[in-house]
Amino acid sequence: MSPRSVRGLARRGLGLLAAGLLTAGSISAVAEEPGRDRFDTVVIDPGHGGDDHGAAGGDGLREKDLVLDVSQRLASKLEALGMHVLLTRTEDVFVPLEERTSIANDARAKLFVSIHANASGLRGVRGIETFFASAEATDESARALAEQENRAFAGQGLPAAAADPLVAILGDLLANEHLHASQEFARMAQQRLVPDANGHSRGVKQAPFVVLMGVQMPAALVEIGFLTNAEDETALRSEAERERLADALASAVQSFRERYDARRGLAPAVDRTGTRGENEDR
Ligand SMILES: [Zn+2]
């Protein structure tokens, strides 16, 4: 089957799905809702939680606690910029994969940001890296990392829908549709997280993270440092570094939002302080 006919099949499938999921009334309500395409909702996904501790530092810092704190700081900053923010967890609990992706999909979020911290068998390995989803990993370490992060969900199984071939095709098409935007956001995030050429940037990479492949919107996963590196762990313990990381990610989301709205011919959103976006020159 040619790519075009697959796409056609998927389009028809989308229509059938939409018809099955929405009543005629709700379709017209969605179509007429003003500003429905404006960038509004962001879902932040603090990795792990509950019995799943994630990575652990030599000095005892746990990934699940660190990423929840950074996620909550980021959420406050985005809310102050006038965005609607949902967290996939707000406390130390295990949240299954399908619940994390459902929260984002049900909210029709415009961006999904998963926050994790890294681990390596090599104590000298350190730095920040940002991922967007693809079936193929950038390199062996990216593949191993995705496998490790995906393992956190293995006990829960994959979403039942993933077993349906049509849904799988649709998922691929939807993911490809957002591939460019996901890459764009990942680059913005990485540039702001490590703005200094002398900083410890491991770059923007791709890997098959299940949590990124399950969402129907631009999505990235940020590894904010290595808990297995003493210097990274010390920095990540500090309030200053956590604030810096949250500020950098908030700035990336704000820039992504401005481009998102500008592409749709929408004027920049006015935030709560009444100021306009930084790229606005009127
Ligand atoms: Zn993790």
How many domains are contained in the chain? 1
- Alpha-carbon torsion 190, 130, 70, 214, what sign? positive
Report pLDDT for 97.
Answer: 82
Q: Is the pTM of this model over 0.75?
A: yes
3-state secondary structure of 60: coil
Range of the domain at 199: 40-262
Residue 189 alpha carbon to ligand 1 centre in Å: 18
Residue 48 alpha carbon to ligand 1 centre in Å: 6
Residue 12 alpha carbon to ligand 1 centre in Å: 37
Residue 129 pairs with which residues in a beta bridge?
Answer: 203, 223
Q: Examine residue 65 and state whether it is found in any structural domain, yes or no.
A: yes
Q: Examine residue 281 and state whether it is found in any structural domain, yes or no.
A: no
CA angle 72-204-261, nearest 5°? Answer: 65
Q: Examine residue 225 and state whether it is found in any structural domain, yes or no.
A: yes
CATH number, domain with residue 151: 3.40.630.40
DSSP 268: P
**C-beta of residue 118 within 8 angstroms of C-beta of residue 226:** yes
Q: Examine residue 82 and state whether it is found in any structural domain, yes or no.
A: yes
Both tokens of 144, joined, read 């191993």
Residue 25 alpha carbon to ligand 1 centre in Å: 42
Q: Examine residue 163 and state whether it is found in any structural domain, yes or no.
A: yes
Residue 273 alpha carbon to ligand 1 centre in Å: 35
Residue 117 alpha carbon to ligand 1 centre in Å: 5
Q: How many residues does the chain have?
A: 282
Given a cut of 90, whether residue 93 has pLDDT beyond it is yes
Report pLDDT for 24.
Answer: 36
Residue 34 alpha carbon to ligand 1 centre in Å: 38
Residue 3: phi and psi, rounded to 5, are -55, -35
Q: Examine residue 1 and state whether it is found in any structural domain, yes or no.
A: no
**C-beta of residue 232 within 8 angstroms of C-beta of residue 127:** yes
Report pLDDT for 158.
Answer: 45
Residue 226 alpha carbon to ligand 1 centre in Å: 10
